Amino acid sequence: MAELNRYDNRLGVMGWLFKGRWGFERYLYILHRITGLGILFYFLMHIVVTSLRAFDIYLWTEGEFFHHPVFRFGEFLVFAAFAFHAFNGLRLVFVELGFAVGKPIEPVYPYKTSLTKQRPLFVIMMIFAFILFVFGTYEFIISMGKMIGG
Amino acid sequence: MPNEKNVKFYIRRYDPLKDKEPYLRSYDVPVSKGMVVLDALHYIRENLDPSLAWRYSCRMGVCGSCGMLINGSPTLACNTQIFDISETELTIAPLPNFRIIKDLVPELSPMFEKHREILPFVVREESELDDPEGEFYQTPEQLEEFLQFTFCIKCGCCMAACPTLATDPNYLGPQPLAQAHRYNKDTRDGGRKARNQITGSNDGAFKCHYAGECSRVCPKGVDPAKAIQIMKRQLVFDFLKISKSQKPCEKLKGPGKGEKKDIPPAPTYTVQE
C-alpha cells in the first residue's frame, strides 16, 4: 500500500509566541531568548562600530551617527534586556541544576508542579533585576537631559 | 434537557487523500453539564459528520490515546469538561510537534522511538537470568524518589507543549527524558551509565531550558520538567565523578538471608465462637 501523506504539524518559531494557550514560564523562556539575541546583536554591532576606529571613524562622538537620542534609547533597551537576562539567567542556573524545584511527590489532584515551587526564586531575581533597571533608568534620564538640553 | 447549551466546535480537519493542508470546520453541538470533549466528538461523528477521525480508548484518562490541542492547550479529551473551558465555542486541533495522520490523529511513533532509545526498563546483570529467585529491597523513601514519574501514560501532551521540540525535532523531549530519570533513580537499576550517553548528549537533557509547559499540561501530574532538572544535576555530578555509587541493590534471597525480625504473635480472637 502506498505511504499516505503525513502533514508536518511542528509549531516552529511562531509557536513560541502564538498557536497555543501557554503558561507564564514558557513566555519567560521566549523573552529570555529574545533578550539574549538582542544583547548578542548589540555586542556584534559594538565590535564592528568600535573597530571602525582603525579607519579613523568615530561614529559615537558628538554630532556623529550614533550620537542621537534614538540610539541612546536603544542602548537603554539593551540595558533593560541585560537586567532581565542576567537575573533570569541566574534563576535558570539554579533551577537547571535541580535546585528550587522541590523533591518528587506523589501526584494528587490538583497537581502541584515544580513551576510553583520555583516561583519565589523568580520573584526574588526580578526584584534584583528591577533595582538594576532603576539605576539604569536614572542614568538614562540624566544623559538624555544633557543630550537634549545641551 | 435542562442546562443544555449549543457550543460551536471548530475542528481542524485533514484528509491525507484529499487535502494539502489542514483547515477548520465548525459544528454545533448541544452540550449539557458533565459532558467532556470526547462526548462531543462522539456526537459529531454519530450525528453530523461520520468522517471525523480521532484516537481514543479507555475514556477515563488512563490510556493516553485522546491527547489533543483543546483551545490552545494540549490535554486529554476524555478528561476535559467542556463547560470548564468555554460555554460558547471551542477549537480542537491535533497535538502539535507530531505529524498528522488524519484529522485529530497524530503520529506518535517518533516519541515511542525516543522512549525506546533511553532503555525504559530496569537494567540488571544478565547472569541473574540464570538465578531468577529472590526479591529486591527498596525503602519507601527510595521509591518516592521516582514514583511520581512512573505515572506517565505516554499521551504526548508534554511533547506537544515543549517549545524546544517545536523547533528542534532531534531533541529527545520531556517524555523520554522524564522516563530516563525514572529508571535512573530506581535503586534496582544499573543502567544509568548507559542512559547518560543518550540523555547527556547534544540532543539530551541540556537542551531543556525550563519553559515548564510540559509539567503544566501533564494530565497525570508527572512533572517532567522537575525530572529533567534533577537529572541534569545528576549528569553534572556523574561527569565530575562526585555522585554516589550507582551499583544496583542486591537481591534478598529467601528467609534467613535478609535481616531477621521478631514476628509478634497474632492477637487473640475478639469474637468467641
- Can you give the pTM of this predicted structure? 0.89
pLDDT bucket at B126, cuts 50 / 70 / 90: confident
- A148 versus A92: the higher-pLDDT residue is A92
B104 within 8 A of B93, measured Cβ to Cβ: yes
* Side-chain half-sphere CA neighbours of A100 within 13 A: 19
CA distance B72 to chain A (A): 4
Q: Is the alpha carbon torsion for A101, A102, A106, A109 positive or negative?
A: negative
Instruction: List b or e across B153-190, with b for residues whose CB sees 16 or more CB atoms inside 10 angstroms.
Output: bbbbbbbbbbbbbbbeeebbbbbbbbbbbbbbbbbbbb
The whole-angstrom separation of Cα B223 and Cα A103 is 11
**What sections of B92-203 are H helices per DSSP?**
109-117, 140-147, 157-161, 163-167, 174-184, 192-199
Can you say how many angstroms the Cα of residue B18 is from the centroid of all Cα atoms in its chain?
A: 33
Of A113, A84, A38, A149, the C-alpha closest to B161 is A113
Position B182 scores a pLDDT of 97
B224 touching A (Cβ < 8 Å): no
CA distance A143 to chain B (A): 37
pLDDT bucket at B251, cuts 50 / 70 / 90: confident
ipTM score of complex: 0.89
Which residue type sits at B125? E
- B249 versus A122: the higher-pLDDT residue is A122
B135 touching A (Cβ < 8 Å): no
- Residue B16: its chain A contacts at CB < 8 A? 4-7
User: A with B: how many residue pairs have Cβ under 8 Å apart?
Assistant: 153
Correct CATH for A22-149 of 1.10.10, 2.30.30, 2.60.40, 1.20.1300: 1.20.1300
pLDDT bucket at B186, cuts 50 / 70 / 90: very high
For an interface test with B, the pick among A3, A11, A33 (most B C-beta atoms closer than 10 Å) comes out as A11
Encode pLDDT of A89-144 as tens digits.
Answer: 999 999 999 999 999 999 999 999 999 999 999 999 999 999 999 999 999 999 88
Position B184 scores a pLDDT of 96
Order across the sheet with B99-102: list the strands: A7-8, B99-102, B105-107
Q: What is the percent of chain B with per-residue pLDDT over 70, rounded to a whole number?
A: 96
Encode pLDDT of A23-75 as tens digits.
Answer: 999 999 999 999 999 999 999 999 998 898 888 888 877 777 777 888 889 99
Please report the DSSP string for A3-59 in residue order: PPP-EE---TGGGGTSSS---HHHHHHHHHHHHHHHHHHHHHHHHHHHHGGGGT--T
For an interface test with B, the pick among A4, A115, A117 (most B C-beta atoms closer than 10 Å) comes out as A115
Q: At which residue does the C-alpha cell 470526547 appear?
A: B38
User: Cβ separation of B211 and A26 shorter than 8 Å?
Assistant: yes
The whole-angstrom separation of Cα A58 and Cα A36 is 27
Domains of chain B: 5-107 (3.10.20.30), 109-123+135-252 (1.10.1060.10)
Of all helices (H) and strands (E), which one includes residue B69? strand B67-70
- Residue B60: its chain A contacts at CB < 8 A? none
Non-local (6+) Cβ contacts of B209 within 8 A are A29, A32, A92, A96, B164
Pick the residue from chain B with its C-alpha nearest to A97: B233
CA distance A38 to chain B (A): 18
Position B34 scores a pLDDT of 94
In the predicted model, what is the mean pLDDT of residues B254-271?
A: 70
The C-alpha cell at B168 is: 528542534
Position B270 scores a pLDDT of 81
Chain A positions touching chain B (beta carbons under 8 Å) = 4-13, 15-16, 19-23, 25-26, 28-30, 32, 92, 95-99, 101-109, 111-115
User: Cβ separation of B233 and A98 shorter than 8 Å?
Assistant: yes
Q: What angle do CA A57, A62, A68 make, to 5 degrees?
A: 100
Encode pLDDT of B86-114 as tens digits.
Answer: 999 999 999 999 999 999 999 999 999 99
**Among candidates A6, A26, A97 on the partner chain, residue whose Cβ is nearest the Cβ of B212:** A26
pLDDT bucket at B272, cuts 50 / 70 / 90: confident
Q: Does residue B253 surpass a pLDDT of 80?
A: no
Position B129 scores a pLDDT of 75
- Cβ burial, residue B54 (10 Å; 0-12/13-18/19+): buried
User: Cβ separation of B226 and A111 shorter than 8 Å?
Assistant: no
A100 within 8 A of A121, measured Cβ to Cβ: yes
Q: What is the percent of chain B with per-residue pLDDT over 90, rounded to a whole number?
A: 81
Q: Does residue B144 surpass a pLDDT of 70?
A: yes
User: Cβ separation of A26 and B209 shorter than 8 Å?
Assistant: no
Which residue type sits at B77? A
User: Cβ separation of B223 and A23 shorter than 8 Å?
Assistant: no
